[in-house]
Amino acid sequence: MVISFTGCSHSPNAEGSNVTSDLQHFNQMWNRAWLEKDGALVEKLMADEYVYIAPNGQLLDRQAILNIIRSPNYRLDSSSRTELSTKPIGEDAAVMVFHSQAEGRFEGKSFKDDHTCTMLCVRRGGEWRLILEQCSPNNR
């Protein structure tokens, strides 16, 4: 599968709108890849320097996350992302903030997450890549 988000106009309003639209699509693909355990797509969407900061503060690098999605002991049963807000940073970077709820199993233990998450994405060679992902527990 080839994923490319190109063709953005260069007017400021259209540019921000296209970045937002591109990243909403990127976010949907990322979520779907996790639901479908598509490790190849997750790997493609990650930048080489990808880092995940877990809700408990643990730092996980790209390889650690790829090991999780490819583990036979990992399963995501449901996942929703709402209240998505995209903040472009110039033409080739943006931050997404959203509410995430997910349920599944990992290493024999069930989990039910309710987080506020942040994703930092950059566009390289016309394609968006995820550099940083951080999730914090919700106390709603």
> Can you list the domains of the chain with their CATH numbers?
12-137 (3.10.450.50)
CB 90 within 8 A of CB 84: no
In this structure, which amino acid lies at residue 69? I
CA distance 129 to 99: 20
Beta strands across the sheet bearing 59-61: 59-61, 46-53, 127-137, 109-124, 93-106, 74-88
pLDDT value of residue 47: 98
- Look at residues 19, 39, 42, 40 and name the one whose alpha carbon lies nearest to residue 30: 42
pLDDT value of residue 22: 92
For residue 127, give Cα distances in angstroms to 13, 26, 71, 90.
20, 10, 27, 15
Q: How far apart are the first and last CA of the chain?
A: 38
Three-state SS for 6?
coil
Three-state SS for 10?
coil
The per-residue pLDDT for range 10-62, each reduced to its tens digit, is: 333 444 568 889 999 999 999 999 999 999 999 999 999 999 999 999 999 99
**pTM of the shown model:** 0.83
CA distance 140 to 124: 36
CA distance 116 to 102: 12
